[in-house]
Amino acid sequence: MAQRRNGFMMLVIMLLALCTVLYPAAVPAEGDTDENAEGAVRFDLLLDSYEPEKDHYNFYFTYKTVHAWWDAVAMGMEEAQRQYLMKGVTITYDYVAPDAASAEDQQIRLREAAAGDYDVIGVDVADESLISPVLDELAEAGIRVMTFSSSDAASGCRRIAYVGNTHNYEDGAQLAQAMYEKIGGKGKVAMLVGTHGAPCHEDRAKGVQDMTARYPGIEMVAVEYDQDSIDLAYDLTMEILNQNPDLSGLICCNMSNPVGAARAVKETGRNVVIVGMDHDREALRYLREGTIYCLGIQDCYSIGFDTIRVAVKVADGILPGDLYPEKTEEQTTIIYQQDAQQMLELLYGEI
């Protein structure tokens, strides 16, 4: 188990750059550097005019697994926490996760948190079929629950609100389309999904599969789950490459698997197009050198910031409506090789 600690100054730089402006209905052109990179940077997130009813709130947040992606979300939380403190409102929270993704572990954490003194319990859902009933159980007991990050609960779940990526299906479809156009609409491809049952990963995979159906020249030869592990993604990619000497592309549906896939492709010297998700530093370096073709960057900073902002309203008993929507949508930006150096400078100070 790991618990969030304040202070990651490098990530402050990183997350200020993750507010995005791309609408998921269109794949950006590979040459639109200004739109893709410069348009992804915002520094203007501020609390709205809502006046909290209390001067102290205590929240509990749990997420799929210890990973830099959720550190990025946490930095947005810390900025909202800072801004509330400037208004005389103290926000405290637990921010915890297991070292490896586990819906069963998440069930235990949620039920333990239900016995604690929290104004709101929030979760990044590890498996909607297993976690949604637990959220319903907590809601039935009068506990205010919400979801956040990139994975919502199942339709009909009694969670109050969701903050995060509402277009994972579209993200997967966009990545697939970008690849299929790159390889001329024909060839053998494979997909690394991520964690079994994780809504964001499964939705992206569904988007990929549906886009694949629109390209009769594309053959999907393998679909594997890497469990958010770079090492497992590497091993799976090596197996796929060995079994498919004529593989044209790899589609990666989370932040870890593009790194594992790129390591394997580079090690073998194969000419395979890789597309994937998010802002891992190693992935951005592979993007810069051309091993990865494109990456979908999620707005982690805004996810964290808006999670705290919405949680305060949920804690005050305000239901979705005029003050906030049931689903707060955050954005994704597709970036290409020409964007990579600028993103490395913005996110990691790497020149």
User: In sequence order, which residues have a C-beta less than 8 Å from that of residue 201 and are 6 or more positions away?
Assistant: 168, 193, 194, 195, 253, 254
Residue 16, pLDDT above cutoff 90? no
Core vs surface per residue 89-124: b (16+ CB within 10 A) or e? bebebbbbbbeebbbebbbebbeebbeeebbbbbbb
Picking from 113, 134, 119, 142, the residue whose alpha carbon sits closest to that of residue 3 is 113
pTM of the model: 0.87
Asked if 336 contacts 284 with a C-beta cutoff of 8 angstroms, the reply is no
Q: CA distances (Å), 256 to each of 67, 91, 283, 301, 327, in order?
A: 9, 31, 9, 18, 26
Angle between helices 168-182 and 199-212 (to 10 degrees): 40
Q: Reduce the DSSP state of residue 324 to 3 states and report it.
A: coil
* DSSP classification of residue 65: S
User: Which amino acid makes up residue 150?
Assistant: S
The chain-wide mean pLDDT, for the chain, equals 90
- Measured over all CA atoms, what is the biggest interatomic distance in the chain, rounded to whole angstroms? 62
- Per-residue pLDDT tens digits for 57-68: 999 999 999 988
Q: Residue 10: what pLDDT?
A: 39
- Per-residue pLDDT tens digits for 223-270: 999 999 999 999 999 999 999 999 999 999 999 999 999 999 999 999
Domains of the chain (ranges; CATH) run 2-166+299-332 (3.40.50.2300), 168-297 (3.40.50.2300)
